Amino acid sequence: MPDVEAESSTQPEAMEEEEPLFSNLDLFLFTLIAGLIIYWFMSRKKAEPIPEFKKLDQPAPSTRETSFIEKMKKTGRNIVVFYGSQTGTGEEFANRLSKDAQRYGMKGMAADPEEYDMCELSRLAEIDNSLAIFCMATYGEGDPTDNAQDFYDWLQESDLELNGVNYTVFALGNKTYEHYNAMGAYVDKRLEELGAKRVFDLGMGDDDGNLEEDFVTWREQFWPAMCEHFGVEASGEDSSIRQYELKEHNDINMNKVYTGELGRLKSFETQKPPFDSKNPFLAPVIVNRKLNKAGNRHLMHLEVDITGSKIRYESGDHVAVYPTNDAAIVNKLGQILGVDLDMVISLNNLDEESNKKHPFPCPTTYRTALTHYLDIIHPPRTNVLYELAQYATDPKDQENMRKMASSAPEGKALYQSFVLEDNRNILAILEDLPSLRPPIDHLCELMPRLQARYYSIASSSKVHPNSIHICAVLVEYTTKTGRLTKGVATTWLKNKLVADNGHKSTVPMYIRKSQFRLPFKASNPVIMVGPGTGIAPFMGFIQERGWLKEQGKEVGETVLYFGCRHKNEDYLYQEELEEAEKTGVITKLNVAFSRDQEQKVYVQHLLRTNKEDLWRQIHTDNAHIYICGDARNMARDVQTAFYEIAEELGGMTRTQATDYIKKLMTKGRYSQDVWS
């Protein structure tokens, strides 16, 4: 600002008129400053709120009944079966229990806790002989499923009295995971703490063993106990109970027909954010290359373009993709059942009060349902065999199908060998039981939904904001019956080629947030253990640590333990990893080639070799440990290696070492992204 005092001092001392208090320049500057201040205040924006997108495909809250108690009273139901389900199995079990109720002289409804006000649970005692069943799956590291998250939060915070509420829980989990059936066990314990009455013991389903058998065994003990508890008798009604009725559309506007969309009709033609499980984004595939140099496996790296989608992701998140079934299998099903797959149909719920109007988006064609909506590759569960048995014209086939659905040892053994061990999907069962030719609409009603597949993202959004990278291995094997079985998603991904003519294949996808995160402080060391495709999230971590270094941040040690079979065959991302070590982004690259020598060497062996460095990084330097890959063997063996290092170098007993690693987990310093 000009020195006004000095300027005015040059004015003549003797003036005929009194000098004004402010000169013209003073006034001008004053006005200018005042104007700028006012402009700044007026133009200052409040922080822009995140736009609230209306969830596509969901009705306004006012159109949906949120009181399950009122619905039960209105429709004469006394049993409600809530489910926490990530992959559809918990929901499937809930539907089966709900249907069972009718056979035992009761009336049930399956319910998604996300759709109802769970505070109403305290009112369940208003209904005579009422019961709440909870089919609760555990997801990830002991977490609730997405649809049960609010219910879990409510249970933790609630002090509502549930006196007079009868309940039981069936938990779905996998023993290879650290927190086996944590969600089911928590719901069971917490409901009792709130005063509810457990009327049947907690059921524990293990997907690493035989989840179906666990469920059937629990269920066959549960219902007789309930009949005794409520003083009712089984109706003896063992025939099939249809949930949906078929409507064929002979004259329909094809613009009203679903062609694979999951929520809003035509959502694949006019894409609108936000993108989620009901409204996936169609991401063009821009790279699809084979990663392994040799060998009989096919490991692949794909990149999908998310430009303009407003999708945000962080290193460690998962990308969910919706695959489609093999057209050849769909066509064979149509041929064997003698149906026109292009017939437009709807399956309408016979229960008009149900929130679930159709088993999949309708109206649609049988071809679309079998391609996009139904899981026709996994071996069918026992309830499907039981319901379809009535259509077998050979009494022996009918008897065997019903036997497989029972909990009798002979029936369990037959299901285990004929269906599970021989890995027969529904097409194989129809081919091997020529007397079984069910109506296709009943088959479609019974088949579970085709689920999204989750992949750990192999990129960092700091480096690749407009693309998401996927690393996967093609699943392909021959069953005991000599049939070639291909993984639905990996076969589909492999065929998503980038054409020379500019045509781009697309992948319906959305992001699932994860807790698998780099440390908040970049200066913390990170230890990453990821053999095979377990390398995926660490490619993102390495990219991000490199980016942080470029920004001038202090980045701690970045140590990778990777494992593969042969250096010259399946050393994934070899060039990228060796370059990262050369530039100092990776402090130390440790690679175990398990089959390049007589004695097999795995990542856990390399951990033991570097035990002094590891112990210093963990115990002194606050390193964060990350494990990604196979849960059944690798993750356990790696954890055991860490126990042994803590015992040897920390002077601990095995119990103390176990507690030490558990504490690291609690503090978020030992994270796992594993699968079985």
Tell whether residue 338 is among the known ligand binding residues: no
Cα–Cα dist 405/403, whole Å: 5
Tell whether residue 86 is among the known ligand binding residues: yes
CB neighbours of 315 closer than 8 A, spacing ≥ 6? 457, 459, 460, 461, 462, 517, 518, 537, 540, 541, 543, 544
Cα angle value 544/545/547 (rounded, 5°): 60
Q: Are strands 526-529 and 624-630 parallel, antiparallel or unpaired?
A: parallel
Tell whether residue 207 is among the known ligand binding residues: yes
Which stretches does DSSP call E strand in 506-587? 506-512, 526-529, 558-564
Cα angle value 459/464/465 (rounded, 5°): 115
Nearest alpha-carbon partner for 511 in 231, 309, 665: 309
Cα–Cα dist 605/321, whole Å: 35
Tell whether residue 258 is among the known ligand binding residues: no
Tell whether residue 185 is among the known ligand binding residues: no
Tell whether residue 135 is among the known ligand binding residues: no
Tell whether residue 594 is among the known ligand binding residues: yes
CB neighbours of 648 closer than 8 A, spacing ≥ 6? 611
Cα–Cα dist 217/211, whole Å: 10
Tell whether residue 454 is among the known ligand binding residues: yes
CB 244 within 8 A of CB 233: no
Tell whether residue 186 is among the known ligand binding residues: no
Cα–Cα dist 102/380, whole Å: 23
Tell whether residue 473 is among the known ligand binding residues: yes
Tell whether residue 181 is among the known ligand binding residues: yes
Strand ordering across the sheet containing 344-349 = 244-249, 344-349, 364-365
Nearest alpha-carbon partner for 458 in 569, 571, 564, 534: 534
Tell whether residue 89 is among the known ligand binding residues: yes
Tell whether residue 616 is among the known ligand binding residues: no
- Report CA dihedral (176, 177, 181, 183) to the nearest 10 degrees: -170
Tell whether residue 488 is among the known ligand binding residues: yes
Tell whether residue 489 is among the known ligand binding residues: yes
Tell whether residue 495 is among the known ligand binding residues: no
Tell whether residue 455 is among the known ligand binding residues: yes
Tell whether residue 180 is among the known ligand binding residues: yes
The single-letter DSSP state of residue 361 is: S
Tell whether residue 88 is among the known ligand binding residues: yes
Tell whether residue 103 is among the known ligand binding residues: no
Tokens linked to 61:
């809250």
CB 345 within 8 A of CB 248: yes
Tell whether residue 471 is among the known ligand binding residues: yes
Which H helix or E strand runs over 392? none
Q: Please, what's the b/e burial string for 293-331 (b: 16 or more CB within 10 A of its CB; e: otherwise)? A: eeeebbbbbbbbbbeebebebbbbbbbbbbbbbbeebbe
Tell whether residue 533 is among the known ligand binding residues: yes
Tell whether residue 637 is among the known ligand binding residues: yes
Tell whether residue 8 is among the known ligand binding residues: no
Tokens 């096919």 belong to 298
Cα–Cα dist 174/210, whole Å: 10
Nearest alpha-carbon partner for 230 in 118, 108, 110, 94: 108
The single-letter DSSP state of residue 349 is: E
Tell whether residue 373 is among the known ligand binding residues: no
Residue 487 half-sphere exposure toward CB, CA atoms < 13 A: 15
Tell whether residue 477 is among the known ligand binding residues: yes
Tell whether residue 602 is among the known ligand binding residues: yes
Q: How far is CA 218 from CA 198, 406, 537, in A?
A: 15, 12, 38
Tell whether residue 177 is among the known ligand binding residues: yes
Tell whether residue 547 is among the known ligand binding residues: no
Tell whether residue 453 is among the known ligand binding residues: yes
CB 279 within 8 A of CB 53: no
Cα–Cα dist 3/216, whole Å: 91
Tell whether residue 604 is among the known ligand binding residues: yes
Tell whether residue 176 is among the known ligand binding residues: yes
| Cα Rg of the chain, angstroms | 31
Tell whether residue 263 is among the known ligand binding residues: no
Residue 658 half-sphere exposure toward CB, CA atoms < 13 A: 5
- Report CA dihedral (329, 331, 332, 338) to the nearest 10 degrees: 150
Which H helix or E strand runs over 39? helix 24-43
Tell whether residue 491 is among the known ligand binding residues: no
Active site (catalytic) residues:
456, 628, 673, 675
* Binding-site residue set for FMN: 85-90, 137-140, 172-181, 207
* Binding-site residue set for NADP(+): 297, 533, 594-595, 600-604, 637
* Binding-site residue set: 85-90, 137-140, 172-181, 207, 297, 453-456, 471-473, 477, 487-490, 533, 594-595, 600-604, 637, 675
* Binding-site residue set for FAD: 453-456, 471-473, 477, 487-490, 675
